[in-house]
Structure 1
Amino acid sequence: MKLQVALCVACLLLTGSAQDRATFQRGNDQRGRCQYTFTVSSPREASCPLSGGGPEMEALKARLTLLEAHVSRLVGEGPGAGPRDAHAQAELERARLQREKEQLDGTVQDLQARLVDMKQEVERLRAQPCPAAFPQSAALQDGGRRAASGSGGVSPLVSRSMVQSERGRVRDSAWSLGSPGYQELKAEVTQLPASQLTQEGTEDDTGCGELVSVSEPVSHRKADNIAGKYGVWMQDPEAPPGGPYGPQMVWRIDTIGTDVRQLFGYEDMNQFSRGFPTKVLLLPDPMESTGAVLYHGSFYYQRRLSRTLVRYDLATESVAARRELPHAGFHGQYPYSWGGYTDIDLAVDEQGLWVIYSSNKAKGNIVVSQLDPKSLEVRKSWETSVRKAAVANAFMTCGRLYTLASYTAPNTTINYSYDTATGQAKAIAVPFQNRYGYNSMVDYNPSHRKLYAWDNFHMISYGVRLGKLDAK
């Protein structure tokens, strides 16, 4: 390319030098037409308005300028390459900064969650009573030293054996009388249950306690059409043995529409993620809202346009019980802040079947009632001080009600807790993520120790961490 440019420039220079001696001239007449004349140099030649080269020369110069610009761009030099390259570099830099910002945001969220966990651990450690005296092992060591120095009546040989035996039991070379602060800290740490130090529940960690933290969401599936913008998905935490559907069965129902009846069953989580149902059940009554749950082989839901609760037996594929929820608001009277006719929200936890709702008597505040899972009869009710329309969603865990502050904020909190065992309520701040910006369902599964949620077409789950059970 550079060689071609050089040849073109040489041709132009030769042509210019030839024109100094040439007798072939070009000019415009009075009508604007170009005339070519063969003449010699004269004073009138300089008066030709196009003696600088005319249109063809100007076009040639323009083409040469473009050619130089192209060459400059190819070699990465010159003014022609600057703006476009600068714009491309700016776009790349902007994309890099955006990626770094997203990574930093994730790091900040992780650090915030860890900070909350650390604060709670510190509070629990501070709540532990300080030991009134040194541990027995320290007393034995001290007694052994006194005996060895001859201050006591015990034989030095016996005292040394006692000390060695005690040291073998303690197995801690740093345990000494010279650091009582370390001894107190060690006593507090050794009294801390191992279940509080794990991020997720294990087979040994089966007790109940307050909600400590919620993990980042894990997406399992995305709905295929607009009917799946919000809905319900679940697994039976207490699938009856010998029933037609085991505990690995996953169930899903899309709740957009006026005639919501289809309940889809999937063999396991893998088939659920792939979208291949093995069973489709048709409910006898259309359901309303996203408050349905699955418990002990039955599907519990609210019948559309009513306060009636329905228990649908999956094994017989028939209605096993129907009952009105006394005084409960329905069809938009007391929904959650996101709407969706979520006046009546059923829930399941370690203590059984619950329903979260409100009534005229409660003046819009949340009411929690425990239900008989067979007859749907209300066993006991609790009225809270938090308005139902002020929270995005709610769920039950270990007999405690928890509410979600926002259904759209990417980083929100579980902001309220009510203990039905003590009747005590308190404000909390457990971090929670709405990854897809429209969380319409949050339910707890006590068997898997997870929260199941439906966030803007996405079916996701969260791991939960429960703390030590408070002494009643």
Structure 2
Amino acid sequence: MWFRASLLCLSCFALFSHSQAQDRASLRRSNDSTGRCQYTFTVASPEESSCPVSSAKPEIDGVLSRLTLLEALVSRVIAGQDGGTSTGVGPKDEEGLREAYSQVTGERNQLQQDKERLNKQVQDLQRRLAELSQEAESLRQKSCQQTHTSGAAQHENRPANDPAHDLGNGGYQEMKAEVTEVPASHLLPDGNHNFTGCGELLSVAEPVMHRKADGITGKYGVWLQDPEPQGPYYTNKTVWRVDAVGKDVRQLFVYEDMDQFTKGFPMKVLVLPEPVESTGATLYQGSFYYQLRRSRTLVRYDLASESVASRIDLPNAGFRGQHPYSWGGYTDIDLAVDEQGLWAIYSTSKAKGAIVISQLDPKSLEVKKSWETNIRKNTVANAFMVCGRLYTVASYTAPNTTINYVFDTATGVGQAVSVPFKNKYRYNSMVDYNHAQRKLFAWDNYHMVTYDVRLGRASS
């Protein structure tokens, strides 16, 4: 509006000048010092031959200043008409900003949790190192005392004319006992490398890939073989698989053996009567055990009769994201099998997120006995049972991680350990132990893999 008024004033000025001095008006166009084009109107005065310098110069400067401001305002108006709306923040932009902020906040919280978990692992390792150092020092002192006592006794029993009676003789040198810290696996005799009894987990071999899932539903799931199959229908060679991605997971794929599993040819597909929750299912003695979706209910599905044999609520167990593993996936209840039977790995509000281990009756699913550990469930990626001991995996994405904690239900004592473990495909969502084959079965980012494990005699 102001621009139009300014143009009108300029037009009036030009008409007035034209009427007063039509034959003496001139228009000149030239560039200023910045390279911009300027129009200059020149009209001769009918009365004055010259202008007073003191009064004309400020007026001209004032006009130039106002014209400059006018041009700047016009430029802003034009810019606003052409693309002003493009610089504003619309509803979609606000929503995008909120989503970005939420994502950044979530990543920050996850990093904070990872930092706290790593700090705790460092503290556990430092404490373990201090204990080992004290134990090594104790062994050194004990060995030195035994050597000194033995030498003194021999010296006292020697006859007086024995040349060795002279301890200053250069031919006799002091023997020093040295204690070297050696991995537990190196302490076993050669024959114990094939140790077949129950014992401590010493090592986990490189993963062996058997099958890669075809579609998105196979990003994570469960695959197993029954360590103690029952009846003539299925054997210990039969392979079982459940793709756990989806809202209504019911299909249980059955393969005759590992070769057919690798080729992707199921011999049967069982449809479960109720859906499965996440990747915590297991197989034992002819039954498929799983957590019912959106509940703390445990279900035993008999494979021979293809029907539900028993079901029970796991007392006070968290579910649906209350106490999952660090990777999420509603992994609140993880069922496991080892040499001593069927187990549930979970947590409760009373335990405040710490892992609780319960041994279950394989027929009725009732809890026989429970143990509460001092490691939080959401700080570890996975867990499994071997010979009545709980082992936890530190990370589900790190290609080179560790089995970082063990809890022995026989003694009720847990401690930090460091057994190397590989997530070759960097998203390991399921780890289960098969005591008949002495292998770990795992589902790592669409890939179904196994690990050979080696056990040794428990330290006394």
Select 1:293's aligned residue among 282, 304, 310: 282
Does 2:376 match 1:387? yes
Select 1:223's aligned residue among 213, 232, 238: 213
Q: Secondary structure at the match of 1:227?
A: helix
1:214 counterpart residue number: 204
2:364 counterpart residue number: 375
TM-superposition CA deviations, 1:307-358 (whole Å, max 9, x none): 0000000001011100000000001111000000000000001100000000
1:468 deviates by 1.1
The two structures, once aligned, show a CA RMSD in angstroms of: 3.4
TM-superposition CA deviations, 1:357-377 (whole Å, max 9, x none): 001000011000000000000
Q: Secondary structure at the match of 1:366?
A: strand
1:190 deviates by 13
Residues 342/191 of structure 1: CA separation in 2 closer, same or farther (3 Å cut):
closer
Summarize the alignment of residues 10-89 of structure 1 with structure 2, pairs less than 5 Å apart: none
Read off the aligned partner of 1:277 and give its amino acid letter: P
2:349 counterpart residue number: 360
Native 8 Å contact 1:207 1:469 kept in 2: no
Q: Secondary structure at the match of 1:375?
A: coil
Show structure 1 runs of 5+ residues with no match: 1-118, 134-179
Summarize the alignment of residues 31-430 of structure 1 with structure 2, pairs less than 5 Å apart: 192-196=188-192, 198=193, 202=194, 205-240=195-230, 242-430=231-419
Measure the CA separation in 1 of the matches of 2:429 and 2:387: 22
Show structure 2 runs of 5+ residues with no match: 1-131, 148-174
Native 8 Å contact 1:217 1:435 kept in 2: yes
1:208 deviates by 1.2
1:243 deviates by 2.7
TM-score (norm 1): 0.59
Measure the CA separation in 2 of the matches of 1:190 and 1:263: 43
1:68 counterpart residue number: none
Q: Secondary structure at the match of 1:335?
A: coil
Native 8 Å contact 1:223 1:229 kept in 2: yes
Measure the CA separation in 2 of the matches of 1:293 and 1:270: 21
Structure 1 runs of 4+ aligned residues shifted over 3 Å read 189-196
Measure the CA separation in 1 of the matches of 2:361 and 2:186: 42
1:206 deviates by 1.9
Read off the aligned partner of 1:235 and give its amino acid letter: Q
Measure the CA separation in 2 of the matches of 1:376 and 1:354: 10
Matched residue count: 303
Q: Secondary structure at the match of 2:259?
A: helix
TM-score (norm 2): 0.60
2:7 counterpart residue number: none
Measure the CA separation in 2 of the matches of 1:450 and 1:372: 23
Measure the CA separation in 1 of the matches of 2:458 and 2:284: 24
Residues 426/191 of structure 1: CA separation in 2 closer, same or farther (3 Å cut):
closer
1:194 deviates by 3.5
Read off the aligned partner of 2:317 and give its amino acid letter: A
Residues 424/314 of structure 1: CA separation in 2 closer, same or farther (3 Å cut):
same
